[in-house]
């Protein structure tokens, strides 16, 4: 396993100095790859030999990986099937609940720190869906000693794809122990305890870990809908604005809507039901809701809507005097959720939800 370079390693005659340049190479690859990934949201070569192209056919332990056979299991690089390039890795589960396939662990340690986010992509399939495939993250301190519990980031048991499928797993090191500085990944291809009954091959290829900036993508929802959390996303910033009120011939113009904001934990594939407030001539604005947050609409009497359930909850602006024909702003003071100046001045604005992830 490759760790940072200590002062002792630099001494010309220090033990281990012969592989100093290998450590320098790996450090440059990981640091350059990591920073380019986080700053540019681009693919970064954080896992070496993710497509197993660097190895000969039938190699049991691929370059950059540490392979271990489970009871009765086997595994090797193969040219019989691949999703990327000419090779892939196949683990063989012989069948039987007490048997398993093989584990693959990344040999080099990946530098991590609080607040960094990663996405793990890989292609895989099994000749029998009744197998269990797991991926675990292991955390280490600055000296290379494992700390905390091994954390499971992916577990598919009994319903694994039976044709090549690209799978994305979100890895967010903000859940790592505070003293964690490095991480390795452990793939279990055919875990013990799940019985495929007959001999089963589990293929793995095109393993790629990428770094990206948190909250770098945005979805805007202007009508009630269900938002499906994208693969690899575990946190999202939700901004809710209710609909503006439309004056009903009273003293004040329609009130501005409330504004609600919160960073929430989500699960890839989760269906988030979002209600977006609407209104029409002479009516109160409808409320906008999602995940327990409520941004109320402005009232047609001129009173503003409020908000609850967020980390930030702001009330809208009170409707101005009727004669001025001005629109009241929403709680945030920019777009969406304006109260109406009059039914003749374009009417009220509906609500909106902004999701950043």
Q: Tell me, what's the pLDDT at 153?
A: 87
pLDDT at residue 235 in the model:
85
Cα–Cα distances (Å) from 169 to 108, 125, 278, 298, in that order, read 20, 16, 36, 41
Domains of the chain: residue spans and CATH: 7-210 (2.60.120.260), 215-357 (no CATH)
Per-residue pLDDT in tens (0 to 9) along the chain, 357 residues: 555 544 444 444 444 444 444 444 444 433 333 333 333 333 445 888 999 999 999 999 999 999 999 999 999 999 999 999 999 999 999 999 999 999 999 998 888 876 567 788 999 999 999 999 999 999 898 888 998 888 888 999 999 999 999 998 877 655 567 788 898 999 999 999 999 999 999 999 999 988 767 788 899 999 999 999 987 788 899 999 999 988 887 778 888 999 999 999 898 889 999 999 998 888 899 999 999 999 999 998 889 999 999 999 999 988 877 666 677 888 877 556 787 765 445 556 889 999 998
Please tell me the distance from the alpha carbon of residue 112 to that of residue 97, in angstroms, as a whole number.
Answer: 36
Residue 199 burial (C-beta neighbours within 10 Å; 0-12, 13-18, 19+): middle
Q: Taking the CA of residue 185 as centre, how many other CA atoms within 13 Å lie in the half-sphere pointing to its CB? A: 28
Q: Among residues 25, 26, 9, which one has the least CA distance to residue 17?
A: 9
Q: Do 46 and 33 meet the contact criterion of CB atoms below 8 Å apart?
A: yes
Q: Are 305 and 254 in contact (CB under 8 A)?
A: no
Q: Are the CB atoms for 10 and 20 separated by under 8 Å?
A: yes
CA distances from 252 to 33, 277, 322 (A): 58, 21, 5
Describe the chain by its helix, strand, coil percentages, rounded to 5.
10, 35, 55
* End-to-end CA, the chain: 33
pTM: 0.63
């Amino acid at each position: 396993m490759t760790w940072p370079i200590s002062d002792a390693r630099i001494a010309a005659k220090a033990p281990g100095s012969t592989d100093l340049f290998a450590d320098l190479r790996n450090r440059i690859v990981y640091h350059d790859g990591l920073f380019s990934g986080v700053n540019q949201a681009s693919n970064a070569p954080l896992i070496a030999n993710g497509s197993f192209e660097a190895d000969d056919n039938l190699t049991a332990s691929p370059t950059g990986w540490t392979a271990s056979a489970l009871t009765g299991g086997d595994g090797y690089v193969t040219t019989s099937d691949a999703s990327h390039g000419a090779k892939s890795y196949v683990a063989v589960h012989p069948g039987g609940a007490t048997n398993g396939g093989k584990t693959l662990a990344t040999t080099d340690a990946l530098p991590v720190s609080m607040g960094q986010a990663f996405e793990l992509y890989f292609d895989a399939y099994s000749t029998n869906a009744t197998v269990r495939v797991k991926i675990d993250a292991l955390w280490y301190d600055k000296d290379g000693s494992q700390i905390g519990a091994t954390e499971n980031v992916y577990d598919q048991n009994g319903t694994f794809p039976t044709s090549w499928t690209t799978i994305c797993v979100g890895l967010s090191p903000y859940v790592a122990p505070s003293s964690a500085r490095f991480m390795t990944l452990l793939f279990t291809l055919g875990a013990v305890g799940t019985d495929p009954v007959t001999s089963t091959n589990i293929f793995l290829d095109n393993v790629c870990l990428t770094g990206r900036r948190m909250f770098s993508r945005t979805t805007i929802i202007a009508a009630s809908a269900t938002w499906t959390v994208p693969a690899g996303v575990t946190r999202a910033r939700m901004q809710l604005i209710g609909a503006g009120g439309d004056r009903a011939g009273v003293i004040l113009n329609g009130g501005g809507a409330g504004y609600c904001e919160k960073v929430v934990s989500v699960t890839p594939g989760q269906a988030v039901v979002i209600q977006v407030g609407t209104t029409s001539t002479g009516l109160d604005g409808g409320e906008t809701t999602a995940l327990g947050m409520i941004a109320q609409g402005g009232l047609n009497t001129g009173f503003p809507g409020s908000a609850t359930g967020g980390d930030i909850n702001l009330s809208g602006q009170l409707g101005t005097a009727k004669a001025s024909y001005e629109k009241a702003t929403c709680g945030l003071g920019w777009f969406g959720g304006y109260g109406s100046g009059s039914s003749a001045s374009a009417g009220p604005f509906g609500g909106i939800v902004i999701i950043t992830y």
